[in-house]
C-alpha cells in the first residue's frame, strides 16, 4: 500500500557543469566511497559529486526518460547491467578517459566496468547447528533431516536460489548454465516450500538467524562478520557460493559524461585507494595490483583473491538477462504453489 515506485527520492540538485550525480547503495558504504575516492576526486577535478543511496534499474530507466537526469554514474548489479545495456540506458564506455589497462579484461564490458566484487555465503546459527554438522555446501543446506529447522533464502538480486537448488542436487558449480529448470524445481520441491522463509533485504537473514526463526541462511560475509563482532554466534562457509559484482556505467542522458567517466576512472585506477576500499569493505576491486598492497589477512577475505575465487562460481548474467522474465515467472509459480 505504501509503495511509491515512481517517486524519485533523491533531492540532489540537477547536474550542472561542475557537479555530477553518483547513485550507489547508501549508508556506511557511501561514507566509505567518499572517504576513499570522492573527496580526492573533488579536490583534483573541481567537480562536485552528489552521492545518492537508492540505485536501482528502475530508477536508472527513469533517469533516461528526462533530459536533466539527477544521476550520471550508476552502480548496477550484474543482471541489471546486462538489462541496462540491452535497453540502451547507458553510454558506451569511453576508454579514452577510463584507463582499462589498470584492470583485468574480465572486468570490462562495452558499457561499464565491474568495480565492487563480493560473494555470498552459507551462514548458520551455531546454537542450532553443532560444529560437527557444519554444512560444506548446498546439499547439506538442503538436508532437513540432519539439520531440522527453517532456512532463509533471498529474493534480493534474483537470489541465486535455482543455482543453489541445482548444486544441492549434485550439479557441479561450473556446469550450472543453462539452468536445468525441471531439475532445479524438483530439488526445491524436495527442500519444501514451507521450510523456506524468503528474505528481501541484506540484513533480514542475519535477523532471522539471531531470532532463531531459521537455523541456516544464505547471506553475505560482511554481514555475518559484523553480526559476530556484535556478539552473535554464527558460522559461515564460502563453498559453492557465488561471486558477483556491481558495475559502473554512465546514464545515456548524462549532461556531463566526461566528468562521469573521469569518476569511473578514479574508482578503478589507484591500487592504493582500491586496497583501502577492500580493507574497509571486504569487497574486491578490478585493480588486482591492490591485492599486493593489502595485509594477508585482508587479502585472504577479498573475493578477487585467486585462492578464494576457486571456491566460488560466477553467475551467468547474460543467461539471466535473456531468461529473466520466463524463469522468474516460473519461480513465482513455484512460490505460489501452482503448477507451471
Partner 1 sequence: MMASWLATLRARSDRLRGPGWLLAPAALLYGAMALAPLIIILQMSFSEGFGAYARVLTNPLLRPILANTIVISAETTLIAMLLGYYLAATIWRSGPRVRMILLAMVLLPFWTSGLVKNFAWAALLQDKGLINQALQASGLTQAPLTLLHNRFAVIVGMTHYVLPFAIFPIYSNMLAIDRSLERAALSLGATAASTLWRVTLPLTLPGVYAGGLITFIVSTSFYLTPVILGSQKDMMIANLVDAYTHETVDFAGASALAVMLMIAVSVLFALYQRLPKESQHGPL
Give the interface with partner 1 as residue ranges (CB under 8 A): 1-3, 5-6, 56-58, 61, 83, 87, 155, 193, 197-198, 200, 211-213, 324-325, 328-329, 332-333, 335-338, 340
Report how far Cα 65 is from the mean position of its chain's Cα atoms. 26
Q: At its nearest, how many Å lie between partner 1 and the CB of residue 202?
A: 16
Q: Mind spelling out the 3-state secondary structure of 256-320?
A: CHHHHHHHHHHHHHCHHHHHHHHHHHCCECCCHHHHHHCCHHHHHHCCCCHHHHCCCECCCHHHH
Give the Cα separation of 28 and 154 in Å (integer). Answer: 22
Nearer to partner 1, 54 or 239 (CB): 54
Give the nearer residue to partner 1 in terms of CB position, either 5 or 231: 5
Closest distance of CB 80 from partner 1, Å: 9
**Closest CB to partner 1 among 147 and 279?**
147
Instruction: Pick left, alpha or beta for residue 188 (phi over 0 → left; psi -120 to 50 → alpha; otherwise beta).
Output: alpha
Of 243, 242, 260, 265, the residue nearest 103 (C-alpha): 265
Nearest distance from C-beta of residue 40 to partner 1, angstroms: 34
Sign of CA dihedral 299, 156, 314, 26: negative
Say how far apart CA 316 and CA 23 lie, in whole Å. 24
Hey, how many other C-beta atoms are within 10 angstroms of the C-beta on 139? 14
- Which residue lies nearer to partner 1 by CB, 32 or 197? 197
Q: Read out DSSP for 83-101? A: HHHHTT-BPPP-TTTS-GG
Determine which helix (DSSP H) or strand (DSSP E) holds 109, and give its type and residue range: strand 108-109
CB of 138 to partner 1, least distance (A): 20
Using the minimum distance from each CB to partner 1, give the nearer residue, 152 or 285: 152
Residue whose CB is less far from partner 1, 206 or 299: 206
286 neighbors 104 (Cβ within 8 angstroms): yes
Nearer to partner 1, 186 or 332 (CB): 332
For 232-265, give the DSSP string: --EEEE-TT-BEEEEEEEEBTT-S-HHHHHHHHH
Amino acid at each position: 500500500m505504501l509503495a511509491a515506485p515512481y517517486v524519485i527520492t533523491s533531492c540532489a540538485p540537477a547536474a550542472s557543469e561542475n557537479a555530477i550525480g553518483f547513485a550507489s547503495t547508501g549508508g556506511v558504504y557511501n561514507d566509505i566511497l567518499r572517504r576513499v575516492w570522492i573527496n580526492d576526486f573533488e579536490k583534483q577535478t573541481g567537480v562536485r559529486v552528489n552521492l545518492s543511496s537508492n540505485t536501482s534499474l528502475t530508477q536508472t530507466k527513469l533517469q533516461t526518460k528526462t533530459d536533466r537526469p539527477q544521476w550520471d554514474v550508476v552502480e548496477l548489479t550484474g543482471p541489471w547491467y546486462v538489462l541496462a545495456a540491452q535497453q540502451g540506458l547507458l553510454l558506451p564506455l569511453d576508454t579514452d578517459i577510463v584507463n582499462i589497462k589498470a584492470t583485468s579484461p574480465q572486468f570490462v564490458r562495452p558499457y561499464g566496468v565491474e568495480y565492487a566484487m563480493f560473494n555470498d555465503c552459507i551462514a548458520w546459527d551455531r546454537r542450532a547447528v553443532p560444529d560437527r554438522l557444519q554444512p560444506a555446501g548446498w546439499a547439506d543446506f538442503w538436508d532437513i533431516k540432519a539439520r531440522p529447522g527453517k532456512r532463509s533464502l533471498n529474493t534480493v538480486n534474483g537470489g541465486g536460489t535455482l543455482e543453489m537448488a541445482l548444486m544441492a542436487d549434485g550439479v557441479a558449480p561450473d556446469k550450472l548454465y543453462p539452468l536445468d529448470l525441471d531439475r532445479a524445481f524438483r530439488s526445491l520441491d524436495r527442500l519444501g516450500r514451507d521450510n523456506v522463509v524468503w528474505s528481501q533485504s541484506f540484513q533480514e537473514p542475519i535477523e532471522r538467524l539471531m531470532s532463531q526463526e531459521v537455523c541456516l541462511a544464505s547471506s553475505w560475509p560482511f554481514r555475518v562478520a559484523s553480526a559476530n563482532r556484535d556478539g552473535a554466534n554464527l558460522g559461515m562457509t564460502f563453498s559453492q557460493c557465488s561471486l558477483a559484482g556491481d558495475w559502473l556505467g554512465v546514464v545515456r542522458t548524462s549532461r556531463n559524461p566526461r566528468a562521469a567517466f573521469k569518476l569511473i576512472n578514479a574508482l578503478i585506477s589507484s591500487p592504493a585507494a582500491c586496497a583501502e576500499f577492500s580493507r574497509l569493505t571486504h569487497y574486491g576491486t578490478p585493480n588486482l595490483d591492490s591485492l599486493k598492497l593489502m595485509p594477508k589477512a585482508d587479502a585472504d577475505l577479498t573475493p578477487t583473491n585467486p585462492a578464494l575465487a576457486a571456491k566460488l562460481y560466477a553467475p551467468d548474467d547474460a543467461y539471466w538477462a535473456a531468461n529473466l522474465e520466463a524463469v522468474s515467472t516460473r519461480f513465482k509459480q513455484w512460490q505460489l504453489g501452482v503448477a507451471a
